[in-house]
Structure 1
């Protein structure tokens, strides 16, 4: 297993455990996060402060239920690591459950840039838009 895949797997393991000190240590200070879609969650987030506020919204909006509950595989191509994942969240009678691809660029042993791809981005937008202000 490559060093870059190990870094990404460490990130997913820390997220699953809620170990955000470790998560923070794996990101570059000037990390760039590209969240797809046209919803309340969508956009580009620059730096750890913006990113952690963004990720915190997922937990707040979903009453703490947001989770990456499966990582089908991770693979790398140089400094890029792709992860095939499944994620879920719910709030009240609203449920989100879909596959995605996370593409992470590693630089100097840190996660420097992340692009997310959702299986059905319109459904994801609808979910976050409907729960964000409830």
Structure 2
């Protein structure tokens, strides 16, 4: 199996965990030096150093604000799989009191090393709508 094929399977397993709502398993795919970048201008945007910071500043607040009504598709559209990373379109649906329901197709670029995700760069298809959803 090539590295590109391994990365494709890793990402499919990663999204299966998130789709099942298994936060702990989803977070287990991150390397110790993991860095995540979330585009936008809301309080949910920014750079997150380490899986704990991503959890504390992005994942936990997202789950709390949506009251658990955040769904990540288990089948991202894989645009490109290479030896050191993968590019996907992720389908997410979120619902929040006072904001209603929003669906987004998010472009995500992952760098992978030693079977762990080392960087994640997230770009929502309609960034303005997502920023408004979090305001």
Give TM-score scaled by structure 2 length. Answer: 0.87
Q: By how many angstroms is 1:98 displaced? A: 1.7
> What is the match of residue 67 of structure 2?
63
Unaligned runs of 5+ in 1: 130-134
Matches within 5 A, 1:38-117: 38-53=41-56, 54-69=58-73, 71-74=75-78, 75-94=80-99, 95-117=101-123
Q: By how many angstroms is 1:65 displaced? A: 0.7
Q: Runs of at least 4 residues of structure 1 off by over 6 A?
A: none
SS of residue paired to 1:2: helix
Give TM-score scaled by structure 1 length. Answer: 0.88
Larger deviation, residues 11-20 vs 104-113: 11-20
- Give the superposed CA RMSD: 1.6
- Summarize the Cα distance change of 1:103–1:110 in structure 2 as closer, same or farther, 3 Å threshold: same
Unaligned runs of 5+ in 2: none
Matches within 5 A, 1:17-56: 17-53=20-56, 54-56=58-60
> What is the match of residue 132 of structure 1?
none
